[in-house]
Amino acid sequence: MKPVLLVAASMACLCACYVRNRVYNAVPQSIVAVAPAPAPAQKAASNKQPKPDAPDHVDADCDPSLRACLAFVEFDEMGEPWDPRQLPAALKLIDAAKKKSDHPIVVTFTHGWKNNAEDEHLLGKQNGNVVGFEGVLEFLKQAKDPNTKEPLYADSPVVGIYLSWRGDLISKYWPVRRQLSYFNREGAAIRIPGAAMTAAFTSIMLESHRGKPGAHVILVGHSFGGLVLERALTQAMTDFVLRRPPPGSEDPADPIWADLVVFVNSAAAASEGKQMLDLLNATHAEYTTPVREGRAVERPLFLSISSLGDAATRFALPIGHGPSYLSRAWQGSWRTYNPPDAFGIASQSSYYLSTTAHMEALQSHLIVAEADAAQCNGGKLFAGPFQLPNQQRYRICEKPGRHNDTPYWAMEMPASIVPDHGGIFNENFIGLLQLFLPDAEEMRNRALRPALRTRP
């Protein structure tokens, strides 16, 4: 009898440790205003009473010109949208922003492992990713020009889209099992990006630019969210690159793609990005602006940036990929490039055991503290010296002797900017990202912004 009871109790415990597979913010709760709820709304709320210091409140009619607005778009375990009304609601929000301005800013964020779309502070708790992303949207709304200290995007409504998947499988009360869900969630991050998710990203990009080419679309993926984003975009991007007409046959500034795609502390193996890098290399892709004094001409279309303090992608990823690496090695699946490939790498498996940003051979730029400026060693300066809110000065330069000169930029950043894997929602990092965004003049004038050009 005892063993039966023991097995039953163990099964009950193991079943109870899963985070429920469900939609968290179905329409109309999928649209929130990034601002404390006005007093009457607090009183009116019934089942979900926002705390007085909650940074957001449900507002289906959120006006992006008054405050940053956030839309949730959630996908299930198979990559299908949980609530098909969420995406149209998000697109309606973009439309509302376009009615107020010719150049709204649309930022999507795809979260990573151990996260989901639970807007917990409505229940008196906090979801670091949701609160952090809302902080970023507010930061952009209030961003100031580093030189003039004038509002940078004063006339640009800010819309955020929190693209969510079931990144959190195991309850936080079971830390070891939660940690071991790495393999399971990596599988999910590879499985989920299908037609529905690619369609969501493409719809966001198209809707943002439709009739308003001045809109600025930024797609951000963090950790496994970087893997999700990269997988969802790669094939659509391939189509976009190959369909680019030759220079001169069309206005190259015609924008239908994202203006910037950021993979931050991405947990995608470099093998995910390698084929895109090869394609951009083969098509001699350039993402450049018209020449302007004081502004760099080359810009990133893809920006893979990871912290030197990010132990998860520097050390845990190679370890986590170890078993499947060995299994593939046993099957003879790894190829040797002879001679080495365009990045000087001879072993295909090297890409699988690192990430794009951490792989030295793929790095295009360096971010160095001003005291270490000698590391740039004559490399062309992209930005700097500039000072972040942490009072430290840095510069960004092309990596000397680099092999990656495509618009897919890869770089590591000092831990003084992002200290670890999760700490991306901080003003030093967002201040750094600001350098990759258009300045006030570029925001007003679409013709000054970068455009993608390719050559066969």
Partner 1 sequence: MNQRVRLWLALCLLGIPAFPQSAPAIPAMQGQLAVPRRTCPGDPAGNLASIDCNFTPSQRWEQFVTGSVTDQALLGATFFGSIAQLMDDPAEWKKDWTGLGERIGARYAQNFAKGLTEYTFSAMLYTDPRHVSYANDPRIANHKRGVKPRIGHAFMDFLSVRRSSPSGDGRALPNVPLFAGAAASGFVGYAWYPDRLATPQQAAQRASFSLGTALAASFYNEFQPEVGRLLGAIFKRGKTPSVPAKAAGNPGGGE
Q: Which residues 276-335 are close enough to bind partner 1 by CB under 8 A?
A: 277-279, 281-282, 308-309, 311, 314-315, 318, 335
Minimum CB distance to partner 1, residue 103 (Å): 21
Structure tokens at 414: 């000092």
Using the rule CB under 8 A, is 54 a contact of partner 1? yes
Annotate each residue in 1-20 with x if it binds partner 1 (CB under 8 A) or - if it does not, as one string: ------------x---x---
**Closest distance between partner 1 and the C-beta of residue 422, in Å?**
9
| C-beta closer to partner 1: residue 74 or 341 | 341
Write down the residue that tokens 């807007």 correspond to: 119
Q: Using CA atoms, how far apart are residues 223 and 230, in angstroms rounded to an integer?
A: 11
In the shown chain, the binding pattern of residues 78 to 97 toward partner 1, with x for contact by CB under 8 A and - for none, equals --------------------
Helix (H, G, I), strand (E, B) or coil at 408: strand
d(CA 177, CA 284): 46
Among 173, 249, 291, 331, binds partner 1 (CB under 8 A): 173
Single out the residue of 205, 218, 237, 270 in contact with partner 1 (rule: CB under 8 A).
270
Terminal alpha carbon distance of the chain: 74
Stretch that binds partner 1, among 101-109, 158-166, 172-180, 181-189 (CB under 8 A): 172-180
Least separation, in Å, of the C-beta of 124 and partner 1?
9
Among 430, 437, 451, 452, binds partner 1 (CB under 8 A): 430
Number of residues that bind partner 1 (CB under 8 A): 96
Q: Which CB atom, from 38 or from 211, has the smaller least distance to partner 1? A: 38
Cβ closest to partner 1, residue 44 vs residue 371: 371
Q: What number of other Cβ atoms are within 10 A of residue 131's Cβ? A: 18
Residue whose tokens read 């189509």: 239
Q: What CA–CA distance (Å, rounded) separates 26 from 58?
A: 11
Distance separating alpha carbons of residues 30 and 71, to the nearest angstrom: 5
- As a whole number of angstroms, the distance between CA 143 and CA 443 comes to 13
- Which span (19-27, 187-195, 234-242, 424-432) binds partner 1, by CB under 8 A? 424-432
Per CB under 8 A, contacts with partner 1 among 207-266 are none
Q: Least Å distance between CB 426 and partner 1?
A: 4
Which residues, numbered 336-395, are part of the site for partner 1 (CB under 8 A)? 337-345, 350-351, 353-354, 358-363, 370-375, 384-390, 393
Q: Is the dihedral of CA 371, 377, 378, 383 positive or negative?
A: negative
**Smallest Cα–Cα separation from 428: which of 419, 440, 439?**
419
| Cα–Cα distance measured from residue 391 to residue 20, given in angstroms and rounded to the nearest whole number | 43
Q: Under a CB-based contact definition with an 8 Å cutoff, are residues 385 and 393 in contact?
A: yes
Paired sense of beta strands 105-110 and 216-222, if any: parallel
CB of 453: closest distance to partner 1 in angstroms?
Answer: 18
Residue from the set 84, 88, 128, 246 that interacts with partner 1 by CB under 8 A: 128
Stretch that binds partner 1, among 74-82, 206-214, 227-235, 430-438 (CB under 8 A): 430-438
CA distances from 90 to 4, 73, 233, 436 (A): 51, 8, 19, 25
User: Are the C-beta atoms of residues 290 and 335 closer than 8 Å to each other?
Assistant: no
Q: Give, as ranges, the residues between 106 and 125 that touch partner 1 (CB under 8 A).
A: 121, 125
User: Residue 332: CB partners within 8 Å, gap ≥ 6?
Assistant: none
Q: Which stretch binds partner 1 (CB under 8 A): 174-182, 184-192, 206-214, 258-266?
A: 174-182
